[in-house]
């Protein structure tokens, strides 16, 4: 059953009862149907009960709620990761006063707090949080220092790039400030995890524009070589990575964020 119903939005078009599949350009569809960039997303109502052709994507919706659900999704992923870290054999081998264990503890607390905060905030905005996502990791991810730290690094750097790339889609000053409050903490996380992987790698050309540019000139996110700006990512770029850690049925559709 395709679930292309953006969370929290209301049906507006009665005769759209064909579900959309991922490859279709949603942007042109929305324009055709008359939706504007700031409008609540159209709901593709009336998925046929007989439609079993592809596992459902989880749509984050659009507008500010779409961005909140997008953030909620990423925090779910991070919270799940650190939860699983704590029962893995690498973490449990560390003494309770080990500096790495202390850091992993704090990261767990922070990401669970972020996750539950977003669920509450979305509910308080009278919108519907997306479902609980089901994750998947390569075998033995949680059994060695190198895989735990490498995965943590990937998630934290991705989170920073995601929040930075999503800011432009937020219309509420309050929500933008909240996103800002979280992203700097994720950047603090990312920096120390990177340092644990390799001393002094808290910044590097892979994540800031130290020795090469980001994007093409003219792109909103463009920054030239030698500017030392974070390499922010669009929602699509982010979920291309995040979806590799999400099971079928939990993969994210962020086409509503625009």
Partner 1 sequence: MNFFQIISEIEKVDPEVYDRLDSRRAVFKHMSGLGQKLTAAAVPLAVGAIFNKAYGQTPAGLTAVNVLNFALKLEYLEKYFYQLRPTALFSSVNQAALSLIATDESNHVSFLTTVINSVAAGQAFADPTVTAFDYTAGGAFPTALTNADTYLALAQSFEDTGVRAYKGAAPLTNVMANKTVLTAALNIHSVEARHASHIRAMRRAGSPSSQATPSLGVPASPYDSKPKSWISGTDNGGAAAPATSAIYGAGNDSGAATYGSNSQTGSTAGVTFPAESNTTQGGVPLSTSTSPNFANFPASAFSEAFDEGLDVVTVTTIAKLFVRSGYTVF
Rule CB under 8 A: which residues touch partner 1? 97, 99-100, 102-103, 106, 109-110, 112-114, 116-117, 120-121, 124, 160, 163-165, 167-168, 171-178, 180-192, 195-196, 199-200, 202-203, 208, 210, 220-221, 223-224, 226-232
Bridge partner residues of 223 (DSSP): 214
CA-closest candidate to residue 15, choices 46, 51, 61: 46
The least CB distance from residue 97 to partner 1, in Å, is 7
Kindly tell me the sign of the dihedral angle through the C-alpha atoms of 107, 173, 235, 115: positive
Alpha-carbon torsion angle 191, 210, 71, 149, nearest 10: -40
Contact call for residues 46 and 52 (beta carbons, < 8 A): no
The least CB distance from residue 123 to partner 1, in Å, is 10
The least CB distance from residue 104 to partner 1, in Å, is 13
Complex with partner 1: residue 19 or 63, whichever CB lies closer: 63
The least CB distance from residue 47 to partner 1, in Å, is 32
Complex with partner 1: residue 57 or 107, whichever CB lies closer: 107
Three-class SS of residue 139?
coil
The least CB distance from residue 75 to partner 1, in Å, is 10
Spell out the alpha helix ranges (H) of 125-172: 145-166
The residue behind tokens 């006063």 is 97
CA-closest candidate to residue 167, choices 221, 241, 96, 211: 221
The least CB distance from residue 182 to partner 1, in Å, is 6
Give the Cα separation of 23 and 63 in Å (integer). Answer: 22
Complex with partner 1: residue 60 or 190, whichever CB lies closer: 190
The least CB distance from residue 174 to partner 1, in Å, is 3
Max Cα separation, the chain? 61
Complex with partner 1: residue 51 or 105, whichever CB lies closer: 105
Tokens of 100: 């790495």
Complex with partner 1: residue 43 or 68, whichever CB lies closer: 68
HSE value, Cβ hemisphere, 13 Å, CA-based, for 44: 19
Complex with partner 1: residue 5 or 190, whichever CB lies closer: 190
Complex with partner 1: residue 52 or 96, whichever CB lies closer: 96
């Amino acid at each position: 059953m395709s679930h292309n119903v953006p969370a929290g939005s209301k049906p507006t078009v009665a005769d759209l009862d064909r579900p959309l599949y991922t490859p279709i350009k949603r942007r042109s569809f929305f324009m055709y149907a008359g939706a504007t960039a700031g409008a609540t997303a159209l709901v593709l109502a009336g998925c046929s009960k007989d439609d079993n052709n592809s596992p459902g994507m989880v749509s984050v919706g659009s507008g500010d709620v779409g961005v909140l659900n997008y953030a909620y999704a990423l925090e779910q992923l991070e919270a799940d990761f650190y939860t699983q870290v704590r029962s893995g054999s690498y973490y449990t081998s560390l003494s309770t006063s080990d500096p790495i264990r202390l850091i992993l503890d704090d990261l767990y607390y922070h990401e669970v707090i972020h996750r539950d905060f977003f669920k509450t905030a979305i509910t308080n905005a009278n919108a519907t949080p997306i479902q609980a996502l089901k994750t998947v990791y390569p075998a033995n991810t949680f059994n060695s220092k190198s895989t735990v730290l490498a995965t943590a690094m990937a998630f934290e750097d991705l989170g920073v790039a995601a929040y930075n790339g999503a800011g432009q889609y937020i219309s509420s000053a309050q929500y933008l400030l909240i996103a800002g409050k979280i992203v700097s903490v994720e950047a603090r996380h990312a920096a120390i995890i990177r340092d644990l992987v390799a001393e002094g790698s808290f910044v590097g050309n892979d994540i800031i524009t130290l020795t090469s540019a980001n994007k093409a000139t003219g792109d909103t996110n463009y920054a030239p070589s030698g500017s030392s700006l974070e390499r922010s990512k669009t929602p699509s770029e982010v979920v291309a990575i995040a979806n590799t850690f999400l099971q079928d049925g939990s993969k994210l559709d962020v086409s509503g964020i625009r």
